[in-house]
Amino acid sequence: MEGQVVIVTGGSSGMGKYMAKKFVQEGANVVITGRNEERLEAAKQEISGEDPAQVLTIVMDVRKMEDAERMVMETESAFGRIDHLVNNAAGNFIAPAEKLSANGWKTVIDIVLNGTFYCSHAVGNYWIENDTKGSILNMVATYAWNAGAGVIHSAAAKAGVLSMTRTLAVEWGSKYGIRVNAIAPGPIERTGGADKLFESEAAAKRTLQSVPLRRLGTPEEIADLAHFILSEKASYMNGEVVTLDGGQWLNQFPF
Ligand code: HXC
């Protein structure tokens, strides 16, 4: 990734931070975005290598198209190019569907579904206008095609992101050579998602029981996969979703 530029939305915590760290280690200039400046600065300290100028932080909200467009402009003026976009920013909470408020539904749809479109639209247009190309990686979840009981807002939004992944892979792949892929992580340690899953000891035990490999994934494993998908080694991969969940979603009748 030497000399390349990668934008990671929601890059100040969880998987986003670990992916950003991996890309920095691989020589990329990395932009991390988020809503909170302090958290972004702390993440920058943590992931920067010897050259702090390798990491740019941008305070923005993926729910705003104008923020996505500013993200592209600030990246261009700092680094002069964009090679990859990782749509990692997400919002989620556990709520029974019948109790979910209209605003709770809208908030998660706005962050996950609309945010992914706004950022992809802004970066895609940058590539198209500059006659260059790059690749997009979307973070989904196995409940994008399976059931997401307790997280109907996130499941519906991730299903939309998966559809967007495949649609843009065809539309932008054929016209512009832009690749669009996705990763569907299972339960991953040191992430906001795991914190939510492990709110109680019983919930933690249930989750571990549901994974055939009987362990959580690590954010480093996600980062390694993300690096591979963005790299030239995966240059023929387009419209694919790669699951990294220890076999969890296949475990329909846990034993
Ligand atoms: C019920 C809730 C709620 C909860 C928020 N809401 N949390 N309803 N149970 N636990 C409702 C609020 O009451 C409000 O509706 C609406 O959602 C918006 O809430 P705000 O707090 O105003 O929104 P905001 O400040 O924008 O925060 C967004 C957020 C927050 C999604 C609620 O959690 C967030 O920013 N999260 C970002 C990080 C994150 O979630 N990462 C995990 C991703 S893991 P009303 O009607 O009251 O106005 C993942 C996969 C893992 O995606 C899967 C594991 C389950």
The ipTM, to two decimals, is 0.95
Return phi, psi of residue 30, to 5°: -125, 135
Q: Which residues line ligand 1 (CB under 6 A)?
A: 90-95, 101, 103-104, 107-108, 141, 151, 154, 192-193, 196-197
**Digit-coded pLDDT (tens) for 126-165:** 999 999 999 999 999 999 999 999 999 999 999 999 999 9
Is the pLDDT score of 200 beyond 90? no
Q: Which atom of ligand 1 is nearest to the CA of 158?
A: 52
Is the pLDDT score of 185 beyond 80? yes
List, in order, residues 6 or more apart from 121 with CB less than 8 Å away: 65, 68
The confidence score (pLDDT) of residue 74 equals 98
Return phi, psi of residue 138, to 5°: -105, 135
Instruction: Tell which wins on pLDDT, 16 or 202.
Output: 16
- Ligand 1, atom 19, lies closest to the CA of 104
The confidence score (pLDDT) of residue 121 equals 98
The pLDDT of 76-101, averaged and rounded, is 97
Tell whether the torsion through CA atoms of 177, 179, 239 and 237 is positive or negative: positive
Q: How would you label 108-131 residue by residue, b for 16+ Cβ within 10 Å and e otherwise?
A: bbbbbbbbbbbbbebbbebbeeee
| CA 148 to the chain's CA centroid | 18
Q: How far is the CA of 105 from the centre of ligand 1 (A)?
A: 9
Is the pLDDT score of 216 beyond 90? yes
Cα 109 to Cα 91: distance, rounded to the nearest angstrom = 9
Given the residues 126, 143, 176, 236, the one annotated as active site = 143
Q: Determine whether 143 is an active site residue.
A: yes
> How much is the mean pLDDT over the chain?
96
Cα 90 to Cα 107: distance, rounded to the nearest angstrom = 10
The pLDDT of 223-228, averaged and rounded, is 98
**Digit-coded pLDDT (tens) for 14-40:** 999 999 999 999 999 999 999 999 999
Is the pLDDT score of 249 beyond 80? yes
What residue has token string 């923005």? 60
Please state, as a whole number, how many other Cβ atoms lie within 10 Å of the Cβ of residue 15.
Answer: 29
Q: Which domains does the chain have, with CATH numbers?
A: 5-190+218-244 (3.40.50.720)
Is the pLDDT score of 255 beyond 80? no
Q: How far is the CA of 242 from the centre of ligand 1 (A)?
A: 26
Beta bridge partners of 138: 87, 182
Instruction: Tell which wins on pLDDT, 50 or 212.
Output: 212
At residue 196 the predicted structure's pLDDT band, cuts being 50, 70 and 90, is confident
The pLDDT of 113-129, averaged and rounded, is 98
- CA 165, 171, 172, 176: dihedral to nearest 10 degrees? 160
Instruction: Tell which wins on pLDDT, 95 or 192.
Output: 95
Q: Which atom of ligand 1 is nearest to the CA of 99?
A: 1
Is the pLDDT score of 81 beyond 80? yes
**Digit-coded pLDDT (tens) for 36-72:** 999 999 999 999 978 888 999 999 999 999 999 999 9
Among 15, 18, 62, 92, say which to mutate for ligand 1: greatest number of ligand atoms within 8 Å of CB: 92
Among 13, 93, 243, say which to mutate for ligand 1: greatest number of ligand atoms within 8 Å of CB: 93
| CA 82 to the chain's CA centroid | 17
Is the pLDDT score of 252 beyond 90? no
Q: Which atom of ligand 1 is nearest to the CA of 35?
A: 35
Whether 161 and 116 have beta carbons less than 8 Å apart is answered as yes
Single-letter amino acid, residue 186: G
Return phi, psi of residue 33, to 5°: -120, 155
The pLDDT of 100-114, averaged and rounded, is 98
At residue 254 the predicted structure's pLDDT band, cuts being 50, 70 and 90, is low
